[in-house]
């Protein structure tokens, strides 16, 4: 108090005014915000977007300004992507706004010796604040007084039960937030008792403020999808420029005459080739595939806030999960009861007259609303809920045996006692409390409904049972009772809580979610490592991790690291040891961020789950942050990329499977587009070298438009291939060209080009109109045009699976795919067969013989690729 120049009577008005001017209001800063226009402009910095804009300009130039369809499609894609990007901006802003909204609207403060109720924004350091059950702590406080004070800090620390506060406790300076029992923190909820504290920090200086700063300063993690697309963009940019320049030079040299007409013709061919080489439909297709993925996930309780998160899920290698509310129910539950010499589980039926059952319900301050809801401390409501499940009618029993006096819980003696009047005029005393404290006051025991003296051996046995339950991470309470003839005139612990009869022990826990064990098993089978990060005690975390299969039963201890131990490690030391630990206990928000970054520095893709304010910085830092929709705070949701609508850990595994499917489908789409574009580039380039006019710019652009759209989108929504969750995650270093895609793209592009050029050569060698050179040339041009278009449509069947035969995955399994191929075929054939259109595209009608040649060449690509796949499969064996 001396440091803050304050007294228990509070600050003076002059002191308050001075400090408000110095420190400002007790609120979180809003941070710098970008204008909507700036956010929109920033969306055009992406290299792929720049390439698309250039492609739009080039397509207009190529058509002489007459054909704007390509340009309109490309610019529509660009603008839609930009709008969506702006919509997704500002996760940190949303998270911090949620933090601001959580602030307590009012605070009871003592100033000039008087108690006032003020807006919490007006608090200053040194203010004396009064707390009682139901209050929200308005700032960080050093407690001066505490009377049975309990504060629920789960959102800040991750601890599943309210913390018993003690103003007189001595706490070391390096203690974690969860161990500072002489402090109360902003936004925590007072659940029991009352207290008095002096404000030590306000606004951004509070623990919640520090979290807000961490959220604001956390770097946006670049998703694997964005990295891959950027890498692809750079490769394509240089390749396309090189090909266009070389084609232009070769065209000019081939003509051997440098005039304006030849230069313009060469420029148009080069530009058309460049436009054909750019997979302008890719960003749109990626967006569509991701958007459809979000719809699938939404139906399965995963709400995606950022599209690339769908694909990022598929590459997840580490799931760093918060314990409370994510892996566990965030609801205290009675799991074991030792009573009357017997052991009962939560599923067993206990006798309604059992004394342990009676005491846990009598020595209890839980209120039951008219709707039947239990209101009170989570530990006490768990005891009443257990009684209800056992058929113990508390309200009717209390009507017969009403409470007439009590000794409230006290953090010093760690006991609570209630006195109930019996029908015979005597009184029943029910006492519950900490086993080590209550056992000192017990002199008798009840076994098999017989009361006998409590021996030293009995005491050892009780302590042994208590230790066993504690090792199972159960929170243990002891129940005792006695009968008295009259209520003492002066109620004290000494004259009431003595000569008691031991009734039993009750073990409680925040239980793991039923589906979590199977989800952890599936994750491990998929090559994903689940780790637990919690603010809870080490023993509790370790026991839950064992029950879930996160850590091995035999090697559990060396896999657990506490926040205090982490503080003693340098970043370099922790980096070297991070893969040794699967459980982190008693950690702070800073620790969570440090753990996530350590894994990321090992090139691992990290998914972080959480529901509390304390999880928000790590959620934002992780490659994908996963918030809880039911128990999660608005802060954690705002910092997340995805929110689980059902708070179900198993839903993450469903989302990961969908993410793997999305990546595989994008990979198939890229293989299809780039192999087709490779075929187009090689066809034009080789034809230019050979002096052939194998295809006109307008024809190339039409093929590019027709074949790059519908089949590519259909490939993007293909169903998942079997066995995807038995494969290891691809990780950060994997690209769209991994898993043999690059080699397949190249050889399949060469095959398509060779078949197209082959048909052009055959058409010239065996012409239908041999007597008319113009018709002969136009027929050859039309056949190469039809072949290149159809060959790409047939090739789409090959790409339905990168390595498996189309007969195994089902060539016609997808209706969407079948319709897309049919539509593309109609559009391609229409320009050849419909009078008027063929003049625009400079093509002629083909006879049956010519169509048969085109179809044989087009189908050949399927046969050749199937043979290659078969050979590849045989070589793997």
Average pLDDT over residues 797-811: 83
**How much is the mean pLDDT over the chain?**
82
Q: Which of 21-25, 236-240, 259-263, 441-445 has the lowest mean pLDDT?
A: 259-263
pLDDT at 512 over 60: yes
Instruction: Please tell me the least confidently modeled range out of 210-214, 233-237, 318-322, 512-516.
Output: 233-237
CB atoms within 10 A of CB 446: 20
Q: Is 140 a catalytic residue?
A: no
Biggest CA pair distance of the chain: 128
Residue 765's pLDDT is: 84
The span from the first CA to the last CA of the chain, in angstroms, equals 77
pLDDT tens sequence across 729-741: 877 777 777 778 8
Best-predicted range by mean pLDDT (148-162, 287-301, 401-415):
401-415
Q: What is the pLDDT of residue 96?
A: 40
Check residue 857 and give its pLDDT.
93
Higher pLDDT pick, 297 / 263: 297
152 pLDDT band, cuts 50/70/90, is confident
> Is the CATH number 3.30.200.20 carried by domain 302-329+513-647?
no
Measured distance CA(636)–CA(621) in Å, rounded: 12
Residue 104 banded pLDDT, cuts 50, 70, 90: very low
**163 and 171 in contact (C-beta within 8 Å)?**
no
Question: Residue 430 — very low, low, confident or very high, per pLDDT cuts 50/70/90?
Answer: very high
What is the pLDDT at residue 91? 42
Closest CA to 715 of 282, 295, 75, 314: 282
What's the pLDDT score for residue 95?
42
- Among 68-77, 231-240, 526-535, name the one with the lowest average pLDDT: 68-77
What is the C-alpha to C-alpha distance for residues 586 and 600, in angstroms, rounded to an integer? 22
**111/11 Cα distance (integer angstroms):** 5
Residue 672, burial from CB neighbour count under 10 angstroms (0-12, 13-18, 19+): buried
- Out of 124-128, 275-279, 603-607, 622-626, pick the least confident: 275-279
Tell me: the pLDDT tens digits for 838-853?
Answer: 777 778 888 888 899 9
* pLDDT, mean of residues 572-576: 91
* The pLDDT of residue 556: 55
In angstroms, the CA 84 to CA 676 distance is 29
Please give the DSSP secondary-structure letter assigned to residue 834: S
- What is the residue extent of each domain of the chain? 13-27+100-213, 36-97, 224-293+658-722+731-876, 302-329+513-647, 351-506
pLDDT at 47: 56
pLDDT over 90 at 855, yes or no? yes
Taking residues 275-292, what's their average pLDDT? 69
DSSP, res 186: T
- Nearest residue to 323 (alpha-carbon basis) of 616, 726, 671, 649: 649
Which residues have CB under 8 Å from 775's CB, separation 6+? 769, 844
Burial (Cβ within 10 Å: 0-12, 13-18, ≥19) of residue 170: exposed
CA 70 and chain centroid, separation:
37
Kindly report which listed range (346-355, 438-447, 489-498, 689-698) carries the lowest average pLDDT score. 689-698
Average pLDDT over residues 461-468: 92
Q: At residue 336, what are phi and psi to the nearest 5 degrees?
A: -140, 145
Give the CA-trace dihedral at 130, 132, 136, 138, to 10 degrees: 10
Predicted confidence (pLDDT) at residue 65 exceeds the cutoff of 60:
no
Quote the Cα angle for 273-276-280, to 5°. 140
Name the CATH code of domain 13-27+100-213 (choices 2.70.150.10, 3.30.200.20, 1.10.760.10, 2.60.120.260): 2.70.150.10
In this prediction, residues 333-360 reach a mean pLDDT of: 92
Q: How far is CA 793 from CA 212, 568, 759, 800, 827, in A?
A: 53, 62, 17, 12, 12
Distance CA(419)–CA(481), nearest Å, equals: 10
Q: Is residue 94 pLDDT above 90, yes or no?
A: no
Tokens representing 81 are 């992507």
Identify how many contiguous H helices and E strands the chain contains and give both numbers: 33, 26
Position 817 pLDDT exceeds 70: yes
Q: Please, are residues 473 and 539 in contact by the beta-carbon 8 Å criterion?
A: yes
Beta bridge partners of 151: 163, 190
pLDDT of residue 30: 57
> Does the pLDDT of residue 199 top 90, yes or no?
yes
Bridge partner list, 164:
150
Q: How confident is the model at residue 407 (pLDDT cuts 50, 70, 90)?
A: very high
Query: Is the per-residue pLDDT at 80 higher than 70?
Result: no
Q: Summarize the confidence of residues 309-319 as an average pLDDT.
A: 85
Q: 560-562 and 475-484 as β-strands: parallel, antiparallel, unpaired?
A: unpaired
- Over residues 162-177, the pLDDT tens digits come to 888 988 888 877 777 7
Percentage of the chain surpassing pLDDT 70?
83
**Residues 6 or more apart from 698 whose CB is under 8 A from it?**
63, 67, 272, 840, 841, 842
Burial of 591 (0-12, 13-18, 19+ CB in 10 A): buried
User: What pLDDT sits at residue 651?
Assistant: 87
The residues, any chain, with a CB within 8 Å of residue 322's CB and separated by 6 or more, are 158, 532, 533, 534, 609, 610, 611, 612, 615
Local structure of residue 104 (DSSP, 8 states):
-
Mean pLDDT, rounded, for 696-709: 75
Flag whether the pTM goes above 0.85.
no
Of these residues, 127, 140, 179, 322, which one is catalytic? Answer: 322
Q: Are 142 and 4 in contact (CB under 8 A)?
A: no
3-state SS of 328-378? Answer: ECCCCEEEEEEECCEEEECCCCCCCCCHHHHHHHHCCCCEECCCCCEECCH
Burial-class residue 814 by CB neighbours within 10 Å (0-12, 13-18, 19+). middle
Q: What are the backbone angles phi and psi of residue 124, rounded to the nearest 5°?
A: -130, 165
pLDDT value of position 838:
73
* Type and span of the H or E element at 430: strand 427-433
Token reading at 79: 């603008």
Domain 224-293+658-722+731-876 class in CATH: mainly alpha
CATH number of 351-506: 3.40.1110.10
| Top-confidence residue, 788 or 289 | 788
Whether residue 244 is predicted with pLDDT greater than 80 in this model: the reply is no
């Amino acid at each position: 108090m001396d440091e803050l120049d304050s007294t228990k009577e509070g600050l003076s008005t002059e002191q308050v005014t001075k400090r408000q001017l110095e420190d400002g209001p007790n609120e979180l800063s809003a941070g710098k915000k970008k204008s909507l226009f700036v956010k929109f402009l920033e969306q055009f910095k992406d290299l792929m977007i720049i390439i698309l804009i250039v492609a739009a300009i080039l397509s207009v130039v190529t058509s002489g300004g007459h054909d704007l369809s390509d340009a309109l499609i490309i610019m529509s894609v660009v603008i839609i992507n930009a709008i969506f990007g702006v919509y997704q901006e500002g996760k940190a802003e949303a998270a911090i706004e949620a933090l601001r909204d959580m602030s307590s609207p009012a605070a009871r403060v003592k100033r000039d010796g008087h108690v006032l109720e003020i807006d919490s924004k007006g608090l200053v350091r040194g203010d004396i604040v009064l707390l009682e059950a139901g209050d929200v702590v308005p700032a960080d406080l050093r407690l001066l007084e505490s009377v049975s004070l309990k504060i629920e800090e789960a959102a800040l620390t991750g601890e599943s039960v309210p913390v018993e506060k003690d103003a007189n406790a001595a706490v070391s300076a390096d203690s974690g937030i969860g161990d500072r029992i002489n402090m109360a923190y902003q936004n925590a909820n007072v659940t029991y008792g009352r207290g008095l504290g002096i404000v030590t920090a306000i606004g951004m200086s509070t623990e919640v403020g520090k979290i807000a700063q961490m959220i604001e300063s956390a770097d946006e993690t670049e998703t694997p999808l964005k990295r891959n697309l950027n890498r692809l963009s750079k490769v394509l940019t240089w390749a396309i420029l090189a090909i266009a320049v070389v084609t232009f030079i070769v065209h000019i040299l081939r003509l051997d005459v440098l005039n304006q007409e030849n230069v313009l013709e060469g420029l148009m061919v080069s530009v058309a080739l460049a436009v054909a080489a750019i997979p302008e439909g890719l960003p749109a297709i990626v967006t569509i595939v991701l958007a459809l993925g979000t719809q699938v996930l939404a139906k399965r309780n995963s709400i995606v806030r950022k599209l690339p998160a769908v694909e990022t899920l598929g590459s997840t290698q580490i799931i760093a999960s918060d314990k409370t509310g994510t892996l566990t129910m965030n609801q205290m539950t009675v799991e074991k009861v030792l009573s009357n010499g017997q052991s009962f589980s939560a599923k067993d039926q206990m006798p309604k007259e059992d004394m342990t059952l009676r005491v846990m319900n009598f020595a209890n301050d839980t209120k039951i609303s008219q709707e039947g809801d239990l209101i009170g401390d989570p530990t006490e409501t768990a005891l009443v809920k257990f009684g209800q499940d056992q058929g113990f009618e508390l309200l009717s029993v209390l009507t017969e045996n009403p409470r007439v006096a009590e000794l409230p819980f006290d953090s010093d003696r760690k006991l609570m006692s209630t006195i109930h009047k019996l029908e015979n005029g005597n009184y029943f005393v029910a006492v519950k409390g900490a086993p080590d404290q209550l056992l000192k006051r017990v002199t008798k025991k009840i076994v098999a409904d017989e009361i006998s003296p409590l021996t030293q051996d009995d005491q050892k046995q009780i302590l042994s049972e208590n230790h066993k339950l504690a090792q199972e991470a159960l929170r243990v309470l002891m129940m005792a009772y006695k009968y008295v003839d009259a209520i003492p005139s002066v109620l004290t612990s000494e004259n009431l809580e003595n000569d008691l009869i031991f009734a039993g022990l009750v073990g409680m826990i925040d239980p793991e979610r039923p589906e979590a064990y199977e989800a952890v098993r599936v994750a491990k089978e998929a090559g994903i490592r689940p780790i637990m990060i919690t603010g809870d005690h080490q023993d509790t975390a370790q026991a839950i991790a064992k029950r879930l299969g996160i850590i091995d039963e035999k090697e559990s201890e060396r896999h657990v690291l506490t926040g205090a131990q982490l503080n003693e490690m340098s970043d370099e030391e922790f980096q070297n040891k991070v893969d040794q630990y699967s459980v982190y206990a008693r950690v702070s928000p800073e620790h969570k961020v440090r753990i996530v970054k350590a894994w990321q520095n090992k090139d691992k893709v990290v998914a972080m789950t959480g529901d509390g304010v304390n999880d928000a910085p790590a959620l934002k830092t992780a490659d994908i942050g996963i918030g809880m929709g039911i128990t999660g705070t608005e802060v954690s949701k705002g910092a997340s990329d995805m929110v689980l609508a059902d708070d179900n850990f198993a839903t993450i595994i469903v989302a990961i499977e969908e993410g793997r499917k999305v990546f595989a489908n994008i990979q198939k789409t890229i293989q299809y587009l780039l192999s087709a574009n490779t075929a187009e580039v090689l066809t034009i380039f080789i034809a230019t070298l050979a002096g052939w006019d194998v295809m006109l710019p307008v024809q190339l652009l039409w093929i590019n438009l027709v074949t790059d759209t519908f089949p590519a989108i259909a490939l993007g929504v293909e169903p998942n291939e079997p066995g995807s969750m038995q494969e290891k995650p691809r990780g950060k270093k994997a690209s769209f060209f991994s898993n043999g895609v690059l080699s397949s793209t190249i050889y399949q592009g060469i095959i398509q080009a060779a078949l197209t050029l082959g048909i052009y050569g055959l058409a010239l060698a065996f012409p239908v109109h041999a007597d008319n050179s113009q018709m002969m040339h136009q027929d050859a041009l039309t056949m190469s045009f039809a072949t290149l278009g159809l060959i790409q449509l047939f090739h789409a069947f090959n790409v339905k699976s990168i390595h498996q035969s189309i007969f195994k995955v089902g060539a016609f399994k997808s209706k969407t795919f079948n319709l897309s191929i049919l539509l593309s075929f109609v559009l391609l054939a229409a320009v050849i067969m419909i009078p008027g259109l063929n003049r625009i595209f400079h093509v002629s009608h083909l006879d049956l013989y010519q169509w048969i040649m085109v179809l044989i060449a087009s189908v050949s690509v399927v046969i050749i690729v199937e043979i290659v796949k078969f050979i590849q499969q045989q070589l793997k064996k």
